[in-house]
Amino acid sequence: MKGLELIKKAFALQPVERVPWVPFVGVHGGFLTGTDAETYLKSSGEIVKGISKAVEEYNPDGIPVVFDLQVEAEVLDCKLRWSESGPPAVVSHPLAEGKKRSDLKIPGAGDGRIPVCLEATKILREKYPDIALYGLITGPFTLALHLLGTDIFMKLFEAPEEVNEVMEFCTQVGQKMAEYYMDAGCDVIAVVDPMTSQIDPVTFENFVTPFVSRIFEDIRIKGKLSSFFVCGHAQQNIEAMCNCRPDNVSIDENIPLDFVKEITLEKGISFGGNLKLTVVLLMGSADDCREHTLECLDLGGKTGFILAPGCDLPRETPLKNLKAVTALIHDPYQQDVVRTLEKKESTLEIFNMKDYGQAEKVIVDIITLDSESCAPCQYMVEAVKRVAPHFDGVVEWREHAIKKMEAVSFMSSLMVKNIPTICIDGKIAFVSQIPPEKELVAAIQKRINEKLKLKIRSKRSEFILLGEEESQCRELQERAMRALTELGKDVEIKVVAGREKLASYGVTQTPAAVAVSYKIKSEGSLPSVEVIREWLKEL
Amino acid sequence: MSELLSNIAECIEFGKINKVAPFPPQMKGQDGADELTRQALDEGISAQRILTEGLMVGMEKVGIKFRENKVFVPQVLMSAKAMSTAMIHLKPFFLSGEVKEKGTFIIGTVEGDLHDIGKNLVSMMVEGNGWKVVDLGTDVKAEQFVSAIKEHQNAFVGLSALLTTTMVSMEKITKAIKEAIPEAKVAVGGAPVTDDFRKKIGADVYSPDPQGLVEYLNAQVA
């Protein structure tokens, strides 16, 4: 199950097999298609292109059509300043600059950029019937702030009636916008009201709750889903937000996910968030993103949780980072790997492996999560298991399941990063992909040949003849020379005479012959205990 | 006499501007920062004492309550408004040099960012603690910061940003300042900013709340 159905299930607080994923792609959509923020937000065609690209890359269950909290303000005569890399900013506040509340009219579906948003919604609806489309509207308090400027904060105390009047108007705007988006095909209406993070719960209950609740009620009557987005330090207001009866509350990294989880679930409301936008998604590595995503998944759990960035994705968020999040969320097995590694990496002991794989036999190591529970691991182990007997005892294989601490150390020592991986004599040979039998055989054979070559080069042997006197060995020496000639071998024959020397060879009766073969095991280095142990096994 | 000062502090703490102001409800009909400051001057209390034992005490209490999430932006803005009403009475004493400022703090929201709530809060808190504040406004370029620091010798400088996108601009400006005036002390703040980020860009101080910055500044001149 995926997309809309999965989101509906999560909103209904039914347990899901996989947590739904909603990347908040705003002007980042333009980044994906090489379009600047202004061009992007002014063209339904560009929005459709950007979101389509995001759908293709990030395989989302839900996605916002447009993330721009200035659409309504622009229609209501706020001046905007456009930027290449972010959504526009409101630079003038009409109600603080002489306009009267009665001068402002509820925006129509054809005003300003509203048709751009609705057109994009319709096209995307048709194109992606199974993905939950989010219509984002500016929350009434944030819109009121756009209209009044920061004066609104003092007017809360000094002119509460005026604030109420503006809030009433902004609520009607929100209701209308929600209606437009629902009619155009959105499944979820998100009321985005970040400025509420700046007020205390009592002020919230007095000035926000009575208004915003009406928007959520409208959405419920229409049979659609609603979400209440807030960003910033809004921890104090989460409970008050729930009391406005949205279906979902979505927050950013400023609020701990488990805190929100506890409050929302108790109120029977689903919750979402809160991937860190800057330090992880924008500035972190793909590995950081995987680790952090997992942290969110583990905290959020599989009931009533939707994974999403804390807010609008910064435009230049690297594609590879969001793809890492996408891959992880769709792959429970990768989650296990990251989870296991994360726990154990800190207490790791690294072996010195530079001499690993010098033993007579070829050693094939398979690094797995655990072949019993992880399918790709199992197939990889089986592939090796099938091939090994062909080599008739020359090849030895071992599985290292990283659920054990030593295996994690072993894995890190061999610099293995992915699971499963096959190493041949300590060298990474196959990563993640299960090799076809032929390739695996060829790779092992190659290593056997290498070792054979080395063996021929490094072997030095002596044939030692022992006697009490040299003359005693003469006959033996002649026979040995004859044998060497017949074999075509290059072995040095040495005669050792003298009773006192016999004992050191363990010889008691003469004449005697001892064959000695030397083999270089290491040169100019200090092999580890593990490595020496492997060599000793050959003796 | 000292009761008058503590009443002034209370007006600042709770944002009581003047007698007619309806806020806060529990102080309805009482004299506000405006009337009490006038009275104090008339009674011969020095402007310096009114500032340090009245206004600054109240401002510090608000700063701490804000840090502890006991009050939020609206309440702090009310306090700031009460503060600036009181300051009108004290202005002549600043100009005559009778009241000493602790130093100069230059502040601005960085290039590309037009948000000023955070910047204004910080500037009011710093001013309320006896500093001269030079507010460069929003969307301020590196050169503007640099020339302001050159104009006000030994001034500290604060960069504000609300958007993740303008954090990049913060880095650029910090580097430009450090290049032009290596000994300049740069403070950074704003919703997306963290201490890790501060280290990355080579700024000197980060505080998640205005009070933290005030404490830093005061420590520098103590």
DSSP collapsed to 3 states, A322-362: HHHHHHHHCCHHHHHHHHHHHHHHHHCCCCCCCCCCCCCCE
Is B167's Cβ below 8 Å from some Cβ in A?
Answer: yes
Distance from CA of B112 to the nearest CA of A (A): 8
A236 to chain B: nearest residue by CA? B69
Distance from CA of A160 to the nearest CA of B (A): 10
Q: Do A236 and B69 touch (CB under 8 A)?
A: yes
pLDDT digits (tens, 9 = 90+) for A340-367: 776 655 556 667 776 677 777 899 999 8
Q: If DSSP codes are grouped into helix, strand and coil, which group holds residue A451?
A: helix
Q: Is the pLDDT of residue A292 over 70?
A: yes
Residue A528 resides in a domain? no
What's the mean pLDDT when you consider all of chain A?
Answer: 89
Angle between helices A140-148 and A151-158 (to 10 degrees): 100
Residue A172 resides in a domain? yes
Q: Is the pLDDT of residue A58 over 80?
A: yes
Q: Is the pLDDT of residue A280 over 60?
A: yes
Q: What is the ipTM of this complex?
A: 0.78
pLDDT digits (tens, 9 = 90+) for A499-538: 788 878 888 888 888 887 777 777 666 777 777 777 787 7
Is A150's Cβ below 8 Å from some Cβ in B?
Answer: yes
**Residue A104 and residue A258: Cα distance in Å, rounded?**
42
Q: What's the topology of domain B2-95?
A: 1.10.1240
Q: Which CATH number fits domain B104-221: 3.40.50.720, 3.20.20.80, 3.40.50.280, 3.40.50.300?
A: 3.40.50.280
Whether A275 and A252 map to the same domain: the answer is yes
Q: Do A153 and B192 touch (CB under 8 A)?
A: no
Per CB-CB distance under 8 Å, the chain A contacts of B72 are 198-200, 203, 236
More confident residue, A359 or B82: B82
Whether A83 and A170 map to the same domain: the answer is yes
pLDDT band at A294 (very low <50, low <70, confident <90, very high): very high
Whether A146 and A292 map to the same domain: the answer is yes
Name the domain boundary from A434, A455, A476: A455
Whether A467 and A386 map to the same domain: the answer is no
Is B172's Cβ below 8 Å from some Cβ in A?
Answer: no
Per CB-CB distance under 8 Å, the chain B contacts of A199 are 72-74
**Residue A260 and residue A220: Cα distance in Å, rounded?**
22
Q: Do B77 and A233 touch (CB under 8 A)?
A: no
Q: Do A154 and B74 touch (CB under 8 A)?
A: yes
Whether A171 and A284 map to the same domain: the answer is yes
Q: Do B192 and A278 touch (CB under 8 A)?
A: yes
pLDDT digits (tens, 9 = 90+) for A2-44: 799 999 999 999 999 999 999 999 999 999 999 999 999 999 9
Per CB-CB distance under 8 Å, the chain B contacts of A158 are 21-23
More confident residue, A426 or A267: A267
pLDDT digits (tens, 9 = 90+) for A104-152: 999 999 999 999 999 999 999 999 999 999 999 999 999 999 999 888 9
pTM of the model: 0.73
Residue A427 resides in a domain? yes
Q: Is the pLDDT of residue A227 over 90?
A: yes
What's the mean pLDDT when you consider all of chain B?
Answer: 91
Tokens of A366: 């398979």
Q: Do A91 and B114 touch (CB under 8 A)?
A: yes
Residue A524 pLDDT = 66
**E-assigned strands of B77-153?**
104-109, 132-135
Residue B50 pLDDT = 93
Q: Do B74 and A232 touch (CB under 8 A)?
A: no
Q: How many domains does chain A have?
A: 3
CATH for A441? 3.40.30.10
Q: Is the pLDDT of residue A51 over 60?
A: yes
Whether A159 and A292 map to the same domain: the answer is yes
Question: In angstroms, how far is the first alpha carbon of chain B from the final one?
Answer: 27
Cis peptide before B24 (omega within 30 of 0): yes
pLDDT digits (tens, 9 = 90+) for A437-489: 888 999 999 999 888 887 776 666 788 888 888 888 888 888 888 888 887 77
Of B116, B163, B194, Cβ closest to residue A86:
B163
Q: Which domain holds residue A359?
A: 347-455
**Residue A361 and residue B149: Cα distance in Å, rounded?**
72
Whether A84 and A218 map to the same domain: the answer is yes
Q: What residues 212-251 of chain A have any CB closer than 8 A to a CB of chain B?
A: 232-233, 235-236
Tokens of A20: 């739904």
- Residue intervals of chain B classified under CATH 1.10.1240.10 are 2-95
Whether A146 and A63 map to the same domain: the answer is yes
Q: Do A153 and B23 touch (CB under 8 A)?
A: no
Mean pLDDT of B87-95: 88
Task: Identify the DSSP state of A195.
Answer: G
**DSSP letter string over B13-31?**
HHT--STT---SGGGTTS-
pLDDT digits (tens, 9 = 90+) for B15-58: 999 999 988 989 999 999 999 999 999 999 999 999 989 999 99
Whether A316 and A382 map to the same domain: the answer is no
